[in-house]
Structure 1
Amino acid sequence: METKLAPDAWQAIGLTTLALLVLAAVVFDLRQRRIPNTLVLLALGAGLIINLIGPQLWLRGGGLLTLYPSALGLKGAALGALTGLAVFLPFYLMRAMGAGDVKLMAGIGAFVGPAAAINVALFILVTGGVLAVVRMVWVRKTQLVLFNVVTALSQLVPGTAASFDPATQSADRMPYALAMAGGLLAYGAWIFSGHAPLVNF
């Protein structure tokens, strides 16, 4: 199912929709420290629809985040959602990220496809790291944060008695939707300024 939309118009609609959904997630995360499942489902559904109705000009669609936009189709959008989920799932299992953040990444993946989802995730992780350092210095909890990081990493070493529970020992929780918005914006700027994706397949 394709519309008569021109690629540029389709890309503008898709990126605007994605930006509004991520902005809504930021607002919820800042105010309530959570991202509602309704918003995540809306992002997943919108990503699938955008890629289902858009112009599929190439055998392998380029997606939204490219200089040559082309819809991914239902399969590409679904693979993007699964990739987004898979990339951030380990962080949730280590209790370093909330479930809402992981599900939001799946929603972003549904818009941008599997390859772009990996690239966006890398930019989000870098952005998150920078924001975490800035926040750590701002709230003057550098020593506690560094201690928590060392303790959390120590859990990965077999035979270590170190135990860290982010729910009770966290020095401060940064609304991670901010990092997701920043990383998405940074990757968009990277691509639309003419740079090649870091990961491409």
Structure 2
Amino acid sequence: MLNAIEVILICLVAQAALTDLAMRKIPNVLILSGLMLALILHLLSGQPGSSVSLWLAGGFAGLFLFLPLYLLRGMAAGDVKLMAMVGAFVGPWQALQVAALSALIGGAIALLMLLWSGRWRDSARNLRLICKPLLLRLLGVPLMPVPLPPQASVGGIPYGVAIALGTVGLVAWQHH
């Protein structure tokens, strides 16, 4: 049986996924509401000190797990904030599990989108452009970094969907 925290979390990530699919954006009001709900629910759980520390540790874990991807421009800020919200609900260890599961699901979604759109050749070209200088540097050849040509991106994915599916997957796994 799902508890209140899990039900509310699933509703929030489902809304984030739907909004991400429709608008390619996850609203800050959804994230802030989720963070406050997580805090309130943890406080009502009956463990005064540990509930706030679990909320904080989970939120920071969720934030810092995807922050490097945002800084490398591989992920949008809304996705990072959504992962922080999920972490605030589930705590740091489960935030790591959700992030790992979301990364696997996100990779599968990305591959499906590349195949569906027919842009897999462009993606392979971009990967070659990125990896060639890195491989040559590993072999000791001094090179300048080669930037991708303008508009070389093959598109983004609605990563809120991957985070939502990762969250639901973790909750389902805990109850099987």
TM-score, structure 1 as length reference: 0.76
Q: Going by fraction, where is helix more abundant, 1 or 2?
A: 2
Residue type at the aligned position of 1:47: A
* 105-114 vs 146-155, greater mean Cα deviation: 146-155
- Work out whether residues 154 and 162 of structure 1, in 8 Å CA contact, stay in contact via their aligned partners in 2: no
Counterpart of 1:187 (choices 156, 170, 173) is 170
Residue type at the aligned position of 2:93: A
Within 2, Cα distance between the matches of 1:18 and 1:151?
A: 40
Is 1:49–2:40 an aligned residue pair?
Answer: yes
Unaligned runs of 5+ in 1: 1-7, 60-71, 194-201
Residue type at the aligned position of 2:90: V
Is 1:99–2:99 an aligned residue pair?
Answer: no
1:109 paired residue number? 87
Unaligned runs of 5+ in 2: 138-142
Residue type at the aligned position of 1:135: M
Seen in structure 2, the aligned counterparts of structure 1 residues 17 and 76 have a Cα distance that, compared at 3 Å, is same
1:17 paired residue number? 8
Seen in structure 2, the aligned counterparts of structure 1 residues 143 and 117 have a Cα distance that, compared at 3 Å, is same
Aligned residue pairs: how many?
170
Counterpart of 2:146 (choices 140, 146, 162) is 162
> What SS is found at the alignment partner of 2:3?
helix
1:87 paired residue number? 65
Q: How far did residue 152 of structure 1 move?
A: 4.3
- Work out whether residues 120 and 183 of structure 1, in 8 Å CA contact, stay in contact via their aligned partners in 2: yes
1:171 paired residue number? 154
- Work out whether residues 155 and 162 of structure 1, in 8 Å CA contact, stay in contact via their aligned partners in 2: yes
- Work out whether residues 18 and 161 of structure 2, in 8 Å CA contact, stay in contact via their aligned partners in 1: no
Q: How far did residue 153 of structure 1 move?
A: 4.9
1:33 paired residue number? 24
Residue type at the aligned position of 2:88: A
2:102 paired residue number? 124
Q: Deviations over 1:127-149 (max 9, x none)?
A: 10111111111111111122223
Within 1, Cα distance between the matches of 2:131 and 2:99?
A: 21
Identity over aligned pairs, percent? 34
